[in-house]
Amino acid sequence: MAPYNKMNCGELVAQYDRAQFQRKETCKQIIEAQKVQIRNISAGKYSSISEANRKLDALYNRYDRECK
């Protein structure tokens, strides 16, 4: 039997809501990090554009994995 058998419906809904809220917050944080990275690139804060692009690509990939 599944481990959540003893939970009532309200507990399951609350658990789902918490997970959805956490996912939304994570996605907001990733988007904000992307914005900061783009501002840093625009401001010339990196000596290597390839390093800057790698970091930005990593954020885009994380967003694709976790938020789509």
Q: Does residue 4 form part of some domain?
A: no
Q: Is the pLDDT of residue 51 over 60?
A: yes
Quote the number of domains for the chain: 1
Count of CA atoms in the C-beta half-sphere (13 A) of 4: 9
Q: Does residue 28 form part of some domain?
A: yes
pLDDT tens sequence across 13-40: 899 999 999 999 999 999 999 999 999 9
Range of the domain at 28: 24-67
Tell me, what's the pLDDT at 9? 84
Tell me, what's the pLDDT at 53? 93
Q: Does residue 16 form part of some domain?
A: no
Q: Does residue 53 form part of some domain?
A: yes
Query: pLDDT > 70: what percent of the chain?
Result: 90
Q: Does residue 34 form part of some domain?
A: yes
Tell me, what's the pLDDT at 61? 97
Q: Does residue 56 form part of some domain?
A: yes
Q: Does residue 18 form part of some domain?
A: no
Q: Does residue 9 form part of some domain?
A: no
Q: Is the pLDDT of residue 43 over 50?
A: yes
